[in-house]
Each structure stands twice: as structure tokens, then as C-alpha cells.
Chains A and B, each alone.
Chain A
Amino acid sequence: MPDARVIPLDPEGHQPTATPSPRSTFWDFVRRRIMGNYVVDDFGFDADLTEHLLLPPLRPLFERWFRVEVRGIDRVPSEGGALIVANHSGTIAVDSVMTQMALFDHHPAHRHLRMLGADLVFDTPFVGEVARKAGHTLACMPDAQRLLSRGEVVGVWPEGFKGIGKPFSERYKLQRFGRGGFVSAALRARVPIIPTAIVGAEEIYPMIGNISPLARLLGLPYVPVTPTFPWLGPLGLIPLPSRWIIEFGEPVHTEDLVGDIDDPMAVLELTDAVRERIQQSLYRLLVQRESTF
């Protein structure tokens, strides 16, 4: 630490430290957690826990393992609501977590991404608990609108399980985008839609098979078979170190489209337009990415 502690310390006096050392910040964090002295928002988002405990272990994965290149981060506004719509892939939703990481670490305003997830997520022990604490909530219209109207950046992956659970042979082919509920939410809240393309997540767990009887038995959308899972046991859970690009695209402004809220045709058209933009960006980025690994 070459530039730390320029003021000589007086062990008797109680000099307030101008910049707390990382270690004292850590102990302050532990103290807050033990005493219950932190704020959780209406959705259950625990910013203190997310910033100090949930995101840090993912940072090496983001920076060293996947070497994520973030593009167009300045297209996400520094203030106010925005809706990030991205492609979904990779068997496990690592792509959404990496997008959250990109937005928090690379955006000048260090914004938190508030994702909308399936109800299965919130009915699964531990997973649901962590998801809520990390800022995510159920994909339903009231929550989407509440978040957007509070000026949060909301993330949706409209392909859902169809996207992350698709076979490796269909990589980078966008699945159906549902009913366009996300478009209605953005229109109502008058926030921009930011089509976002994620390249690299498809290769982390290449899904070459699906044990569907087991999936039905367990009530899961799929039970994946990858080149390493379940053959290598827990080692099979290590994602392949693919090279990633996350590109936040040109925003679609919705202020002038408010009249279209009640027109299902217009909503579906806009949904398709967003989907098409993401698909085009994916093809372009795939060409630009020099190697998969």
C-alpha cells in the first residue's frame, strides 16, 4: 500500500479516518450484518449484502474466467428507469448475473440491475432467497411497473427457460419472446428499452442432451447433459472459459409510443423489432469475436 496512511496515527486520540481501510470496511460490514443494521427495500433487495458479499466472488469469474468485454454501457441512463432486454442462454442463468456485474462495475453510476424472474426461482429454497436479496423479483406486471416507475434499471430475459435450456446446436438462435409483457411495462412507465446482446454464455455449459423423464419427476424445466456433466460429477459444474461480449444496444425510446399500450398488434410488433435487433447484434458480435475461448 504505497499511498495509504499518510497521517501519523495517534493511538490515544479518536481521529476520524478519512478513508476507511478495506479491512475496517469489512469489519463494519460484519458488524452491520450481526446487528441487523441495514436497509432492505420493498422487494427484499439488500444492497449492502449484494455489494459486499454476493458480487465480489463473481468478479474474478467476470474479469478473468470469461474476460467479459462490455460495450455500449453509456447507453444505459445514469438516472431513471430503463428496461434491459437480453438473450438468454447457458443452461444456468450465469448470463443474467454477468449482466448485473457489468452494470454495477462498468456503469459510471454503478447501477443495480433488477431482474424479473420466473416463479420457480422464488419457490426454490436458497435460490429464491438469494435472488430477492440480489434485487430480483417475480416477473409480473405490478412488480415490473413498480420498479420502472421508481427509476430502476430492470432486466428481462423474455426467452426464459426456452432460452437457457435450448440445445447447443441451436446456439445464438433467439427463441420466442412470449407475449411482449415487457414491452407493455416499458410503454406504461415511458422508459427506454435497451436491446442487449450477450455472446459467450452459450458455450459455458454446452447442452448436448436433456434427461427429460428426470426433469418431469423433479418438476424442473430440464436436466442438462453437457460434455462434462454429469460425467465428471461436481467438476462438471465448472463452466467452460468462453470469451464473452455484452453489448448494450441503441435504446428504443417509448415516450411517443404510449398510445400503443392497448394495441396488442403494436406491442407485438415492437416486441419483434427488439428481438430482431438482438438477433442481428448477436450475428455481428459473433463475427467480431475472434475465438470462442
Chain B
Amino acid sequence: MGRVVLVTGASRHLGGLMVRALARDPGVARVIGVDVVPPHRPLPGAEFIRADIRNPVIGKVLRSADVDTVVHMGVIATPMQAGGRTAMKEINVIGTMQLLAACQKAPSVTRVIVKSSSSVYGAGPRDPALFTEDMSPQHPPTSGWAKDSVEVEGYVRGFARRRPDVSVAILRLANVIGPRVETAMTEYFTLPVVPTVLGYDARLQFVHEDDAISALHRATSSGISGVFNIAGEGIIALSQAVRRTGRPSVPVPGALLGIVGRGIAPTRLVDFSREQVRFLTYGRGIDTSRATRDLGFTARRSTAVAFDEFLGGYDLSPALAESVISGVTSAARMLTTRGGSRA
């Protein structure tokens, strides 16, 4: 008998990818996508229920469909997507509480997978180069999505204690990037001028959207419990990333980044909250060896490759810079050659 999987946040890009991946999985009998808004793209082979996870109706869905696996991807990263920070916090925190309360009462549920974020580690000067899952943050996040993710993980741990028969996996994803996904980071790198923090160069780590889905899929089918860091191999410096986009960057003092950023992009979902500014100042790295060892998952694309695929998808490249530098290089080579042959 195949499994019955419920996916929250199914109408957004990653949720949709996850639903489609599960629908293709022969081990899965039914996939039920849940979200408050209808999906932008069709979800072939899956069912969609327009429901709010903050509403107890979700419990009925779990019971009536005999759901055994819940994949919670309904945590929203930017206020713009939710219609304000208050609504975002409500969806993230209250939504998770309701969902887990419903799971707790549903005996059919045997497996819960939660998409979390590496932002729970915070960002700051006293951070180790790479965080392992057991390390506690040196600079715990105090606001925004990161804080929500910390609270969500807290509720998930509480749920795991109350339902020890359920296997619970939390996946802390590095910033998801790729040719199609839209996040605060993809918006940031597509700004006409990219504001960076003066005097700092953050270490960034990305995971390709398809790798993120593979990791979640893997966790769904393996039934293993625990917390896992998920990221592409290696890191890329913020300055290096901006250079690869070919966009000009303007370094501004960290305290002014928010003002400058919002001035450049007043309507976009790019994030310049305090927490995000800290991240763009210090960056963060996570150690993925536990996922490799216990989950059997390694991202196929490194951080740098994932970033380059994002550039490809958004048609960004340092083309102008490249033509200028090739011109200068060949001119310089010619001069060097003349000088050399005369010598």
C-alpha cells in the first residue's frame, strides 16, 4: 500500500515542486497539496485542498484522507509574500502550531518532515566557520523569518516529544536558489545596483531548488528522525557572487543598508530586515556531513554551481565586464608581446 502525503505551502514554487516530485514517486499513493491560495501551476497526479493550516479544518483533512506523512513547507520567508509581518508571523507560528496539534490527534500520521532554514543559527562575528546541527547559535536571531523558524522548530520538538511514535525530520536548508525559484536572495541579486555592507564580505551558501526538493523527498521516503543541514558544497563570497551577476555593487555602511536597499527596490520582496542585514554582513556556513552520513543525501550541485544556474535562469552574466576585460587583456598582451619580441 502506498503512502498518503500531505504537503503544506503547495501553491508556492518549492511546495509545488515537492508535490509534483511526490506524485511521480511510485511509493506514494496519494499526494494532497494544501495552501490558502490556489496553485499557479497545475499539480498533475495530486489533489489540492484550499485550506488554511491555521484553521482546525486541517485536522479533518488528515483524518478523512488517512494521511500518514506530513511535509510542512508552509513557513513563509518574507513579509511581502504574506501581506505584512504580522500576518507572516501568524501564518508561520500559529499555522505550525495548528498543523502539529492536528497531527498529534491523527493516529494515522507516522512521519513529519519540516522544511526549516539555516537562518536559525543567526549570523555574527563569533560564529564558527561551519555550524553543525548540535551547535547553539552564538547570535540567536531576534526577528523576522529566522526567529519564526526558531519558534517553528521549538514546536516541532515539542510535538516529537508528545508523539514519540512519529518520526520527525527537520531540514535546515541553506538559501535556496536556482533558475526558477524567487526568494529574497534572488531578488537581491537581480537588483539593478546591489548594495553590500562596507568593510565586510559575507560567506554565502546556497542549495539548488532541485537539490532542496531531493533532500526533502529523501527525508520523506527514509523515515529517519533528526535535524539535518542541507546545502550545496562550498561557499561563495558575497562580493564574488555579485561579480558573477555582472551587476554593479555599491558598498554602504551596514546601518544604512536597509534605507539604501529599500530606496533601490521599494516594491520588491527583497528583504533588508535587521536579521537579513546581519546575514549580509557576516554570512554563515553549515556543515552537511550529517545529512551525507545519516540521510544518505548529498547535494548534486555545489554552492557555486547552484548560483551559476540561478544566473543562467535569470539571464545574468558579467558579459559587459567580460568584454571590457578581454579588450584590455588582449591590448595588454599585444603590448607585452611587442616588448618581449624586441627584448
Judging by beta carbons under 8 Å apart, are A4 and B343 in contact?
yes
User: Is A260 in the interface zone, CB < 8 Å from B?
Assistant: no
Judging by beta carbons under 8 Å apart, are A137 and B321 in contact?
no
Across-interface contacts of A132 in B (CB, < 8 A): 201, 203
User: Is A119 in the interface zone, CB < 8 Å from B?
Assistant: yes
10 contacts between A and B (CB under 8 A): A23-B332, A24-B336, A27-B328, A27-B332, A41-B234, A42-B285, A119-B125, A123-B125, A138-B127, A146-B128
Please give the number of chain A residues whose Cβ is less than 8 angstroms from any Cβ of chain B in the complex.
40
Min Cβ gap B172→A in Å is 17
User: Is B130 in the interface zone, CB < 8 Å from A?
Assistant: yes
- Sort chain B's interface into a size bin: 35 or more
Additional 6 contacts, C-beta under 8 A, given A42-B235, A138-B127: A9-B340, A9-B341, A21-B336, A125-B200, A133-B201, A146-B130
User: Is A236 in the interface zone, CB < 8 Å from B?
Assistant: no
> Which residue of A23, A35, A146 is within 8 Å of B129 (Cβ)?
A146
User: Is B199 in the interface zone, CB < 8 Å from A?
Assistant: yes
Q: Indicate with 1 or 0, residue by residue over B197-240, a CB within 8 angstroms of chain A CB atoms.
A: 01111010000000000000000000000000000001111011
Across-interface contacts of B132 in A (CB, < 8 A): 142
Across-interface contacts of A42 in B (CB, < 8 A): 129-130, 203, 234-235, 285
The B50-67 residues at the A interface (CB cut-off 8 A) are none
Judging by beta carbons under 8 Å apart, are A122 and B333 in contact?
no
Across-interface contacts of A123 in B (CB, < 8 A): 125
Min Cβ gap B200→A in Å is 6
User: Is A284 in the interface zone, CB < 8 Å from B?
Assistant: no
Judging by beta carbons under 8 Å apart, are B200 and A34 in contact?
no
Given contacts A5-B341, A42-B234, A146-B130, contact A138 B125 (CB under 8 A): yes
Judging by beta carbons under 8 Å apart, are B243 and A143 in contact?
no
User: Is A11 in the interface zone, CB < 8 Å from B?
Assistant: yes
Select from chain B the residue with minimum beta-carbon distance to A144.
Answer: B128
Q: Indicate with 1 or 0, residue by residue over A122-139, a CB within 8 angstroms of chain B CB atoms.
A: 110110110011000110
Please report the C-alpha to C-alpha distance between residue A34 and residue B248 in the assembled complex, in whole angstroms: 11
The A1-17 residues at the B interface (CB cut-off 8 A) are 1, 4-5, 8-9, 11
Min Cβ gap A200→B in Å is 31
Min Cβ gap B300→A in Å is 19
Min Cβ gap B62→A in Å is 40
Across-interface contacts of B326 in A (CB, < 8 A): 31
Across-interface contacts of A27 in B (CB, < 8 A): 328-329, 332-333
> Which residue of B129, B321, B329, B332 is within 8 Å of A44 (Cβ)?
B129
User: Is B325 in the interface zone, CB < 8 Å from A?
Assistant: yes
User: Is B337 in the interface zone, CB < 8 Å from A?
Assistant: yes
Judging by beta carbons under 8 Å apart, are A34 and B128 in contact?
no
Judging by beta carbons under 8 Å apart, are A5 and B318 in contact?
no
Across-interface contacts of B240 in A (CB, < 8 A): 36, 38, 40
> Which residue of B198, B236, B325 is within 8 Å of A125 (Cβ)?
B198
> Which residue of B130, B237, B340 is within 8 Å of A21 (Cβ)?
B340
Judging by beta carbons under 8 Å apart, are A129 and B125 in contact?
no
Judging by beta carbons under 8 Å apart, are A31 and B235 in contact?
no
The B73-127 residues at the A interface (CB cut-off 8 A) are 125-127
Across-interface contacts of B129 in A (CB, < 8 A): 42-44, 137-138, 142-143, 146
Judging by beta carbons under 8 Å apart, are B234 and A138 in contact?
no
Q: Indicate with 1 or 0, residue by residue over B300-331, a CB within 8 angstroms of chain A CB atoms.
A: 00001000000000000010011001101100
The A108-161 residues at the B interface (CB cut-off 8 A) are 119, 122-123, 125-126, 128-129, 132-133, 137-138, 140, 142-143, 146
Given contacts A1-B343, A9-B341, A23-B332, contact A126 B199 (CB under 8 A): yes
Please report the C-alpha to C-alpha distance between residue A235 and residue B333 in the assembled complex, in whole angstroms: 39
Judging by beta carbons under 8 Å apart, are A31 and B198 in contact?
no
Select from chain A the residue with minimum beta-carbon distance to B334.
Answer: A11
User: Is A30 in the interface zone, CB < 8 Å from B?
Assistant: yes
User: Is A52 in the interface zone, CB < 8 Å from B?
Assistant: no
